[in-house]
Structure 1
Amino acid sequence: MKYQVDFEKLANVMGDGVVISDAKGDIVFWNASAERIFGYSAAEALGKSLDIITPERFRLRHWDGYKKSMETGTTRYGSTLLTVPALHKEGKALSIAFTVAMLMDEDGNVGAIAAIVRDDTERFQTDRELKKRIAELEAKS
C-alpha cells in the first residue's frame, strides 16, 4: 500500500518539537511539541524571531552561526546533536538538544532551516548533579 506523507500531519504528531525558520530567522513553522517545550502557541511564535527562545547572552553566537549556515548552505549539526540553553515563555531556563536540516529553494539556495528539538533539561540537570557528587566524593579521597 502506497501512502503519501503529509508533512504537517506528521510534524504535528511528533513527540519532538519541529521549528522552521526562514533566512532572516523568523519562525515559519511551529508544531504542537514546540508549543509544549517552549510554552508559546503557534499563533504567538509564527513570524517572531528565534530570539524568543534564545537566551540573550547566547544571541550573538547564535546569530553568527545562523548567518554562516545561511551563507554556506552547510551545518555541522545535521547529524550531530547540539545541546544548548533555551528559554521558555515563562522565562525559565531550558536545555534543548536538536539537529537541523537546511531547506533549499529551487535555485539551490538556503530558504529555511528546520530544527528537530527535544527538551533535555531533566537529563542535563541530572548529569550536572552527578558530576557535582562525583567531584565531592573525589575531594574526600
Structure 2
Amino acid sequence: MQAAIDYEQLVNAIGDAVVISDKSGAITLWNPAAERMFGFTQEEALGKSLDLIIPERLRGRHWEGYEKTMSTGQTRYGHELLRVPSVHKDGRALSIAFTVALLYSPERELTGVVAVIRDETARFQEDRSLRKRIAELEARVGA
C-alpha cells in the first residue's frame, strides 16, 4: 500500500535545488536548497528571470534554447545531465549539473520547466587541478 506523498514537503526537504520557471522564464518555485546554492532568498527569486543565476555571457544561448523548447515542447535535456556555469548572488562562479522536465497544464499546454540542480563546483575544480597536474607531469616526462 502506497502512502500519500506530500510533494511540497519533498521539494522543501530535498538536498538538490529545485527551480521551476514559467513559459517566459520567470521563476515560480525556488526551494530552500536553491537558496543555499545560489544565495538568493525565495522572496528575491520568485517572479524574477532565470538571468538571476545565468552568467551574462551565456544568456543569449540559454534564451535561444529556452524559447525553442517553449515553442516546440521538446528538450534534449530531459534525461541527459547538463553541466554548465552558473553564478551565485555574491558574484562567484558556480559549476552546476542539472536535469530538466517540461511541465504541462491538465489541458496538456506547456506551462514551464522544472530543473533539479546540484552544485558541482568543488568536483569541477578538483578535476581541473588533476588535469593540470597530469599535463605538467606529461610535459616533464616528454622533455
| TM-score, length-scaled by structure 1 | 0.97
Equivalent residues in 2 for 1:53-92, closer than 5 Å: 53-92=53-92
In the alignment, which residue of structure 2 is the partner of 1:139?
139
In the alignment, which residue of structure 1 is the partner of 2:47?
47
Q: 3-state DSSP class of the match of 1:69? A: helix
Equivalent pair of 1:73/1:109 in contact (CA under 8 Å)? no
Rounded Cα–Cα distance in structure 2 between residues aligned with 1:61 and 1:16 = 24
Rounded Cα–Cα distance in structure 1 between residues aligned with 2:105 and 2:61 = 26
Consecutive unaligned residues of structure 2, counting only runs of 5 or more, are none
Equivalent residues in 2 for 1:1-141, closer than 5 Å: 1-141=1-141
Equivalent pair of 1:81/1:97 in contact (CA under 8 Å)? yes
Equivalent position amino acid for 2:36 in 1: R
30-39 or 3-12: bigger deviation: 3-12
1:8 Cα deviation after fit: 1.2
Greater than 3 Å deviation, 4+ residue runs? none
Max radius of gyration: which structure?
Answer: 2
Identity %: 58
Equivalent position amino acid for 1:112 in 2: G
Equivalent position amino acid for 1:29 in 2: L
- The aligned length equals 141
